[in-house]
Structure 1
Amino acid sequence: MSVNQTNELRSSFGDDIILFDEQDESTVFRILTEILHEDRHYAVLQSEEMKKDGEVSVFRVSRDSEGTLELETIEDDEEWETVSELYDELTFPEHDEP
C-alpha cells in the first residue's frame, strides 16, 4: 500500500492535542503520526490511558470551509482497519531475513 507521512496537524497544534467528548470532558492526546493514503489525511492519536493498554485512536483529518484542520471519527470499519494496518506497518516494519 502506498503511504506517506505528513505533519500538518503537528505543525498547527504541537505534539499534543486536546479533544472533548460528548460530556464536554477534555482529554489530552499525543499525535503519534499523520498518514496520507489515497488522497486522504489521517491522524493516529494516543492518550495516557490508551498508552497503558497499547491502544490508539485513528481519525480522518479534514479542513472546514475556513481551512481550519478538523478531526473526524472514522465510521467505516474497513477504512479504520486499513489506516490502523498502515500505522502498524510504519511502527513495526517487517525486516527481511536472509
Structure 2
Amino acid sequence: MTIYSREDLSWTSDLKETFDGDVELQDEQGHAMRMELEAEFKVGEQRYAVLRRPGAAVGEHELYHVSSSTDGEISITTIEDDDEWEDISELYDECTLPEEL
C-alpha cells in the first residue's frame, strides 16, 4: 500500500517542454532507445517521469527519477529502491485511473 495520496502529487511539464514528448535514454550497453513521455510529476521534492516504449500497450510504462544539475541539464535515472518504485507506481495508477463511484 502506498504511503502517498493524490494530494502529494503535482503534475509537471519540464520534460515535455524540453523534449517535446520523446526522450532518448541509453541502456546499460550504451545503446540509445527512444521512449514516449506519458506523464511527469513531483512528489515532495522528487520528480518522476512515466515513460513508455513505442508500441507498448497503454498501462505498460516505466518509472524514472528526474533531476536537474545546477546548469539546468536534465538527468533521467532508474529508481533503484523497490519500495519507492512500488509506492510511486501505485500513486500514479491511483491518480490516473478513474475514481470508483
Any stretches of 5+ residues in structure 2 without a counterpart? none
Counterpart check, 1:31 vs 2:31 = no
Normalised to the residue count of structure 1, the TM-score between the two structures is: 0.86
Shift of 1:54: 4.4
Any stretches of 5+ residues in structure 1 without a counterpart? none
Pairing partner for 1:22 from 22, 28, 39: 28
Counterpart check, 1:10 vs 2:16 = yes
State the aligned residue count. 95
Pairing partner for 1:57 from 51, 62, 73: 62
- Structure with the larger RCO, 1 or 2 (CA within 8 Å, 6+ apart): 2
Amino acid aligned to 2:29: Q
Instruction: Tell me the C-alpha RMSD between the 2 structures.
Output: 1.6
Q: Distance in 2 between matches of 1:95 and 1:89?
A: 10
Shift of 1:52: 3.9
Pairing partner for 1:47 from 44, 53, 56: 53
Shift of 1:7: 0.6
Counterpart check, 1:86 vs 2:91 = yes
Q: Distance in 2 between matches of 1:57 and 1:10?
A: 16
